[in-house]
Amino acid sequence: MEFSLHRYTVESKWDRAFDSTLDSPQTLVVVFVTPRPGEELCSELAGIHVSFPNSVVIGCSSSGEIYGEVLSDDSIIAAVIHFADTRLKLVHCEITDAVQSYDVGTSVAEQLLAPDLAAVFTLTDGLKVNGSAYVEGLNHILPDDAIITGGLAGDCDQFERTWLLYDGQCHSGGFIW
C-alpha cells in the first residue's frame, strides 16, 4: 500500500504535487473540504478527478479539515491510498428522508456484499441520514468481521447544506457513497 496526504489552501496552494502514477482502479482518493468552497477550491476539486481518472475519488464537506496537528476551515485535504491487492467498489444510494436510513443501509450493504468483503468506507449526507440507523442497516446484512468506517458530511455549525464529492462533482441532497 502506498499513501500520500495533501493540503490545499488558497494562500499556499498544494503543499506537494500529486503522484498521478498511483492512478488505478485500486486507488482510493478521499477528500475533505470546507462546506462552502469558493470558485478556486471547486476548480481544485475537479482537478483531483482529472489527476486520478481511473481511481475512486470521493469526499465530502466537513466541519473542519484535519491535517496533522492543524485544524482549518477553508482548505482541501486529500488522502491518496493505492492498494496492492484490494478491490474497490463504489456504490451510491439516494435518500430523501432520515426515516429511510436503515433501509438505505441494507441496500448499500446488499450492493457491496461479496465473499471477499473485508471493509466498508462510507460517507453520507450529514443532514438527511440518521447515522445510527444507517449503520444498523449495514450491520444487518454485512458479515460480522467486515469493518465499517466513514462519517457524515458536515457544514460547521450551520445545519443547512452538506454535500458529497464524486466524479469531480459536488452532490447535495441526500446521497450516500
What dihedral do alpha carbons 93, 98, 102, 107 form, nearest 10°? Answer: -10
Taking 90 as the threshold, does the pLDDT of residue 137 lie above it?
Answer: yes
Q: How many domains does the chain have?
A: 1
Nearest alpha-carbon partner for 105 in 81, 72, 134: 134
Q: What is the pLDDT of residue 86?
A: 92
Q: Give me 22's grid cell.
A: 498511483
Give the bridge partners for 27, in sequence order.
Answer: 82
pTM score > 0.75 for this model?
yes
Residue with cell 458529497: 164
Among 6-15, 56-65, 119-128, 152-161, whose mean pLDDT is lowest? 152-161
Q: What is the pLDDT of residue 158?
A: 74
Nearest alpha-carbon partner for 168 in 20, 54, 48, 29: 48
- The better pLDDT of the pair 6, 46 is held by 6
Q: What is the pLDDT of residue 173?
A: 63
| Tens-place pLDDT, residues 24-40 | 999 999 999 887 766 77
Taking 80 as the threshold, does the pLDDT of residue 156 lie above it?
Answer: no
Average confidence (pLDDT) over 128-156: 93
Taking 60 as the threshold, does the pLDDT of residue 177 lie above it?
Answer: no
Q: List the domain range (segments joined by +) for residue 137.
A: 2-176
Which residues have C-beta within 8 Å of that of residue 90, sequence separation ≥ 6? 56, 58, 166, 177
- Percentage of the chain beyond pLDDT 70 is 95
Q: Say which DSSP state 89 is in.
A: -
